[in-house]
Amino acid sequence: MILLTGASGFIGQHLHAALITRYGIDNILSLTSTPNMSSPYLLHNDYRFEKEYFMESGYGNSIDTIIHAGAYTPKNASRANDWQKCGENIYNTEKLLQADLPNLRKVIYLSTLDVYGKADLISESSLIEPASLYGYSKLYGEKMIEAWANEKDKSFHILRVGHVYGPGEEAYQKIIPVTIKKIINEEPVQIWGSGNELRSFIYIKDVIDCIISSLSLDSNVGPINLVGSNPISISELVKMLFMIIGKSINIETMPGTAQGRSFVFDNSKMKQYLLPDTPETELATGLREEWKHMTKDNGKYIF
């Protein structure tokens, strides 16, 4: 049985559905704050549970894998240094590792690219230098899981998730959903700074495919970045959205307070170990799906 945390989040909802399709509803257990899951679940009560919690629930002996997708993830940059919320990432991971799960053999931990410092091309060997408490909290989680796995002789995988887009991300103040909302509302689209900064997006389905592939990855190959390989500038991204949607909205160029940073990745390790035979989803294809999702809810806009 797979224990999944974070099943109500953006990535978690997609992952939860895919795991059920792949392994069956009775083989997925969600540890959640939401008591209306479509598969077996336990409430984590802010992770205020004792180590015997899973055994007492009757699931403890069945759990052989944990996918730890649950975490505090800042919805915008201004919340990346919320020390209380970031501290919860460490506490919650510790509680999971302390749980009495006698047949647990593997932990898959979803981390973040925020563990890296500045680099022209980000790969798994890039400098580790978080710029926020959020990045530090996820890095500490990585180190906790590595130490635990080595001590207990367990398997683990660290997946550092990049700029994910797709249906369901509209809760976050990210460039794609924010731009789509402005187009829907016929408001000017704002581009801060030059708009020449590069982003490399990866579609949510590709991320889910990678996570599921990691379940059968036997060897410890070190951290793997789940990232896109086709960078696009912010300006070109907005133009692509205009083309897909068939509307052209006024663009407001806003003065940037600092020099913009590009994010370009080397995802050869991801392709080698997790997506060896599957091409990445084309950006235009993924954007169309996100547009459809954000503009259709029983025939009405969801905003």
User: Tokens 């201004």, residue?
Assistant: 78
Cα(216)–Cα(113) distance, rounded to whole angstroms?
A: 23
Cα(8)–Cα(32) distance, rounded to whole angstroms?
A: 7
Residue 8 has which token pair? 């109500």
Number of domains present in the structure of the chain:
1
Q: Which amino acid is at 50?
A: E
**In degrees, to the nearest 5, what angle opens at C-alpha 151 toward C-alphas 147 and 153?**
110
Express each pLDDT in 175-228 by its tens digit: 899 999 988 888 888 887 788 889 999 999 999 999 999 999 988 899 999 999
Residue 24 has which token pair? 């069956």
Burial group, residue 28, by CB count within 10 angstroms (0-12, 13-18, 19+): buried
Q: Do the domain assignments include residue 127?
A: yes
- What are the backbone angles phi and psi of residue 129, rounded to the nearest 5°? -160, 80
Express each pLDDT in 29-41 by its tens digit: 999 988 777 789 9
Cα(85)–Cα(247) distance, rounded to whole angstroms?
A: 39
Residue 92 has which token pair? 């919650």
Q: Do the domain assignments include residue 141?
A: yes
Q: Which amino acid is at 172?
A: Y
The parent domain of residue 66 ranges over 2-161
Q: Do the domain assignments include residue 275?
A: no
Q: Do the domain assignments include residue 145?
A: yes
User: What CATH code is carried by the domain that includes residue 103?
Assistant: 3.40.50.720
Say if residues 43 and 7 touch (Cβ distance below 8 Å). no
For 153, residues 6+ apart whose C-beta sits below 8 A from its C-beta are none
Q: Do the domain assignments include residue 128?
A: yes
Strand partners, 106: 65, 155
Q: Do the domain assignments include residue 89?
A: yes
**Local confidence pLDDT in tens for the 303 residues of the chain:** 999 999 989 999 999 999 999 999 999 999 998 877 778 999 999 999 999 999 999 999 999 999 999 998 887 788 889 999 999 999 999 999 999 999 999 999 999 999 999 999 999 999 999 999 999 999 999 999 999 999 999 999 999 999 999 999 888 778 899 999 988 888 888 887 788 889 999 999 999 999 999 999 988 899 999 999 899 999 999 999 989 988 878 887 777 655 567 889 999 999 999 999 889 999 999 999 999 998 875 334 443
Q: Do the domain assignments include residue 267?
A: no
- What's the chain's length in residues? 303
Cα(9)–Cα(218) distance, rounded to whole angstroms?
A: 27
For 236, residues 6+ apart whose C-beta sits below 8 A from its C-beta are none
Look up the pTM and report it.
0.92
- What are the backbone angles phi and psi of residue 293, rounded to the nearest 5°? -65, -40
**Residue 91 pLDDT:** 96
Q: Do the domain assignments include residue 211?
A: no
Cα(273)–Cα(213) distance, rounded to whole angstroms?
A: 8
